[in-house]
Structure 1
Amino acid sequence: MALRGDGLLTHDLLPGEKGPQDACGVFGVWAPGEEVSKLTYFGLYALQHRGQESAGIATSNGEQLRVYKDMGLVSQVFDETSLNALAGYIAIGHTRYSTTGASTWENAQPTLGATAGGTIALGHNGNLTNSAELVELVAERYGPLRRGELARGNTTDTALVTALLAGDPDHTLEATALEVLPRLGGAYCLVFMDERTLYAARDPHGVHPLVLGRLERGWVVASEIPALDIVGASFVREVEPGELIAIDADGLRSTRFAPVERAGCVFEYVYLARPDTSIAGRSVHAARVAMGRRLAQEHPVDADLVIPVPESGTPAAVGYAAESGIPFGQGLTKNAYVGRTFIQPSQTLRQLGIRLKLNPLREVIRGKRLVVVDDSIVRGNTQRALIRMLREAGAAEVHVRISSPPVRWPCFYGIDFASRAELIANGLGVDEIAASLQADSLGYISTAGMIAATEQPASQLCTACFTGHYPIELPPAHRLGKFLLEQSELPLGSPEDGLATLVTGVGGAGALDHP
């Protein structure tokens, strides 16, 4: 398993140790007269934290759609030459972490599909829970002659949606979308386009964020507000749950395809989203600071110094220190230049362990009773290694405080946690976890405290990974699973079958050749 390369998130501090992985990042722009490929490139840069396995951009000049995608980070996939080749006035972009389907070039997005009048390109953030049903629907509707894309080797739920949207020769793409979108189960934020129109859609529960911004000469949609900021777009509003937006030369059209049943992902506030974004009107940074304050109220301790696990634990540590009166300090320094590595976790890397990314400031922590604040614990291996390192550096005591409740349940809506059997909180109590980590004490924020910090009604949040209460109906267990589509039997064609498009991307090996 490759290391995370966003420079911000902290869970892959041990080589080969996977923490909660973000879903994906999506970006779309309609802006005649602008260099939309470069706007999309910078927008994806701002969304790199949401997916580091692959990246892609599709553009249209009104007549022809082009796409370039590859394995790797945004900076590894694109260069000046590839961006200049993506001419046009409409673009969509995607950064991927695989929640359905393997991490392969074939599964990179945007996906493509031939329509009756041209081509569709689509990017998806989320995870569909009724993929097995959609496989049957694609086979039933289109069979071996289906027009939509289910490209050879593509095993994502995104390809299923592309196939369903592209495959109806008797209706416009917009009309087809209004028929297909209500049939999708689970969580989804979609950006898609044909030669002349940009579309955006969000599931009726609004599980993950999707925002709308205004340029002087166009419109932007993106997973998070910082992606608007980086391209100079002003925030207009969130795309509403159950809303389809279409943008073309006639302007912006909004259509509701399903009633709102809000169930926003609380883990976006805890960890997934950037701290400089807002969700449902609440600053993510402010929510994390408030979680730290509540954590101090619920789990006080006599200590000398509060330190974060950088960077995602920092806002909560600031809140904990402010509420408790214990001084805040930077006890750990992070190597911001480790980046993503394609080196497999050899014994040498395992021996380097957490020191590959973090190192203690011995003069700061020596002899101190520490409160170490982090956002979550998944397997516990990272925290165990961190505590050992702090003790070796001279810490007198190590008290761990976590700004989310114990993660006990898997997510089926777009976050790739460990399996339930691998979750340390599944079957162990808090004291047992503390003993396993070799911490002097351990405290998790309560579910009620976490929810209060978001300032959202509990009834409008999804807390399934903490409580086991899934707000969106799940199919039987045998019809769920990340690699379900790799086991399905559909008539598959080649990616280019019937596509009026130029596919300019290359295989995944090229990612290693980029700077």
Structure 2
Amino acid sequence: MREEDVLKEECGVFGIYNNDSREDSGRIVYYGLFSLQHRGQESCGIAVMDDITVKQYKDMGLVPDVFNNEILDKLTGSIAIGHVRYSTAGGSIVQNAQPLVSRYLKGALAISHNGNLVNAHKLREQFENEGFIFQTSIDSEVIATIIARERVRQPSVEDAVSKMMEIVEGAYSLLVMSPKKLIACRDPHGFRPLCIGKLDNSYVVASESCALDAVGATFVRDVEPGEIVVIEETGIRSITTHCNKYNSSLCIFEFIYFARPDSRIDGMSVYEARKRAGRQLAKEHPVEGDIVIGVPDSGLVAAIGYAEESGIPYGMGLIKNRYIGRTFISPTQSKREDGVRVKLNALRENVEGKRVIMIDDSIVRGTTIKRLVKILRSAGAKEIHMRVTAPPFLWPCYYGTDVPSRDKLVAVNHSVEEIAKMSGLDSLGYLGLENLTNIAKGCKCNFCDSCFSGKYPTQIEIQNEEENINEVEIRKSPKFKIC
């Protein structure tokens, strides 16, 4: 199945400064990446610092397919970082896989980056005009180039990272590995999550807290927007020069779809946020039904919330084939249609003759809904009412989420009623934009909802490749409120 109507999960990063057993560093990162696989399925990699030598392995594919015991046995060292990737900027090729390793005047440097820069094109063009050579097509290499350049001028790698943060704009939760330090930083808006854990005498850093659990680490805290965390042999310290510059803007879709339900992000449980979204949908869009079902996987928890609020029983209505990855591709359109049935199948015993309320996280192009409705109708569903735990997508995202251009978003050109009719639904309801941020009430950060509202927290540079022009839309960031 070619998943044209499904959002992709940007990337995931994991790192460790190992004060216990350098022999285990590669394996610990492996298990961390395995738990972050939902954030990227195209490529993965691990880089380890062994004194002044960087050992690295990366390839296209899933974590358990790329790595084996023989490879992991060689990935030993005191510091290690890893990455799982879905390409939001740059092509899906092994050259663009991360971590990115650079060798320059001061030695070796490796980075793992989650997010997307909004001024990468302009910076890259500037560097190329100055004679710099780029080996990849990803914006992460722009970050690596700036850090390497500034490290030659600055007394420490953390000072170089701080200078980089003055130059780049956009979303980045970043791990930087130098011969003696592991550095973690989060952009001043805090678009993407990043947290710190303690594993015996070692420190780990990960995109989500579920990765800390996977390696047996204890959650310490989240990295604050704009913060630089330096981990070295003597311990851990924080640089807050870039904190409190802006109103924080954590991507609200982390709670709706991207993050695993067993993660906590900036003080808020993803599971509770999704259940709250389902409860809110039941209040906004009540409908009579016999069963509430969720579309696996991100719709399941919200369906529980909808059922609890409405009093309508929750049940399994769609069964997912766990052995088909998100990259499963069929050669023809007709086979792609069949692929939906291979990946998802209706549980006839639960839906036949019933009024089904189906909960999902989003509607992008509108193609997947038609296929789901067809599956449920074939299984005998009497009525199908769909409820969505997000508002309609009306604008593209420039911060690392693969929301397509406006002309491909079904909600831009069609009303809710038209989408329902086109999809074969009996009714359709979206979560109201005015209630969106209430689902993560209690989170210590504010949110970015630009893909729904069109209000971008930063200046956006839109590159039109066909006409070779740049359109710049300026939306000034509000002053800092909550960090």
Normalising by structure 2, what TM-score? Answer: 0.92
Name the CA distance, whole Å, in 2 between partners of 1:480 and 1:164.
Answer: 25
Give how far 1:449 is off: 2.1
Out of 228, 231, 238, the position equivalent to 1:254 is 238
Does structure 1 residue 27 correspond to structure 2 residue 14? yes
Structure 1 runs, 4 residues or longer, greater than 6 Å off: none
Contact persistence 1:15–1:345 (CA under 8 A):
no
Q: 1:336 to 1:116 in 2, by over 3 A?
A: same
| Aligned-residue offset at 1:418 | 2.4
CA separation of 1:198 and 1:174: change in aligned 2, threshold 3 A:
same
Question: What does residue 103 of structure 1 align with?
Answer: 92
1:164 and 2:149 correspond: no
Contact residue 20 and residue 202 of structure 2 kept, 8 A: no
In the alignment, is the contact (CA less than 8 A) between 1:114 and 1:167 conserved in 2? no
Partner of 1:70: 59
CA offset digits 1:194-241 (Å, max 9, x no partner): 111111110001111000111112100000001111111111100111
Contact 2:118 2:398 in 1 (8 A): yes
Cα distance in 2 between the residues matched to 1:478 and 1:340 = 28
| One-letter identity of the residue aligned with 1:371 | I
Alignment of 1:460-479 (within 5 A): 460-475=446-461, 477-478=462-463
Aligned to 2:127: 138
Say how many residue pairs are matched: 463
Superposed, which structure 2 residues align to 1:82-93 within 5 Å?
Answer: 82-93=71-82
* Percent of aligned pairs with the same amino acid: 45
Alignment check: 8 A CA contact 2:32 2:214 kept: yes
Structure 1 CA distance, aligned partners of 2:34 and 2:243? 33
Equivalent in the alignment of 2:251? 265
* Aligned equivalents of 1:385, 1:342: Cα separation in 2: 16
Match of 1:376 among 362, 384, 395: 362
Query: What is the CA–CA distance in structure 2 between the aligned matches of 1:342 and 1:85, rounded to whole Å?
Result: 31
Q: Deviations over 1:7-64 (max 9, x none)?
A: xxxxxxx435241111100011001332110000000001000001100000012221
Do 1:55 and 1:74's aligned partners in 2 also have CA atoms closer than 8 Å?
A: yes
Give the aligned partner of residue 441 of structure 1.
Answer: 427
1:53 aligns with one of 36, 42, 48: 42
Q: Identify which of 278, 290, 300 aligns with 1:314.
A: 300
Mapped partners of 2:291, 2:42: distance in 1:
37
Name the SS of the counterpart of 2:116 in structure 1. strand
1:392 maps to which residue? 378
Structure 2 residue 221 is the aligned partner of structure 1 residue 237: yes
Equivalent residue number for residue 508 of structure 1: none
Structure 2 residue identity aligned to 1:126: G
* Alpha carbons of structure 1 residues 249 and 135: separation in structure 2 relative to 1, 3 Å: same
Following superposition, the deviation at residue 138 of structure 1 comes to 2.7
Report the CA distance between 1:342 and its aligned residue: 5.8
Distance 1:181 1:329 in 2: 48
CA distance in 1, matches of 2:43, 2:330: 18
Query: In the alignment, is the contact (CA less than 8 A) between 1:16 and 1:345 conserved in 2?
Result: no
Contact 1:122 1:190 in 2 (8 A): yes
Tell me which amino acid in the other structure corresponds to 1:103. S
Give the corresponding residue for 1:125.
114
State the Cα distance separating 1:109 from its structure 2 match.
0.5
Q: Select which of 164, 170, 187 maps to 1:203.
A: 187
Cross-structure match for 2:474 = none
The aligned residue for residue 481 of structure 2 is none
Equivalent AA in structure 2 for residue 42 of structure 1: Y
Which of residues 401, 410, 422 in structure 2 aligns to 1:424? 410
The aligned counterpart of 1:345 is: 331
State whether residues 320 and 345 of structure 2, in contact with CA within 8 Å, keep that contact through their aligned partners in structure 1: yes
Does the Cα contact within 8 Å between 1:18 and 1:418 map onto a contact in 2?
no
Which residue in 2 is equivalent to 1:294? 280
| Structure 2: segments with no counterpart, 5+ residues | 470-483
- Note the C-alpha offset of 1:340: 4.9
Contact kept in structure 2, 1:225 and 1:235, CA below 8 Å: yes
1:37, 1:87 within 8 Å by CA — same for their partners in 2?
yes
Q: CA deviation at 1:132?
A: 2.2
Q: Is the 8 A contact 1:132 1:479 kept in 2?
A: no
Say if 1:266 and 1:463, in contact at 8 Å, map to a contact too.
yes
Question: Secondary structure, in 3 states, of the residue corresponding to 1:187?
Answer: coil
Aligned amino acid, residue 46 of structure 2: I
Secondary structure of 1:124's aligned partner: strand
Alpha carbons of 1:357 and 1:344: their partners in 2 closer, same or farther (altered >3 Å)?
closer
- For the 8 Å contact 1:187–1:203, the answer to whether it is kept is yes
SS at match of 1:425: helix
| SS of aligned partner of 1:186 | coil
In structure 1, how many angstroms separate the alpha carbons of the residues matched to 2:103 and 2:241?
A: 24
Per-residue Cα deviation, 1:288-326 (whole angstroms, up to 9, x for no partner) = 101100100010011111111111101110011111111
Residues 52 and 108 in structure 2, CA contact (< 8 A), matched pair in contact too: no
Higher relative contact order (CA 8 A, sep 6+): 1
Pick closer, same or farther for the CA change 1:348–1:423 going to 2, 3 Å: closer
Q: Secondary structure at the residue paired with 1:120?
A: strand
> Normalising to structure 1: TM-score of the pair?
0.86
CA RMSD in angstroms, aligned pairs only: 2.0
Equivalent position amino acid for 1:41 in 2: Y
Code of the residue aligned with 1:258 in structure 2: it is H
Counterpart-to-counterpart distance in 2, 1:258 and 1:244: 8
Q: Does the residue aligned with 2:412 lie in a helix, a strand or coil?
A: coil
Cα 1:64–1:479 shift into 2, 3 Å = farther
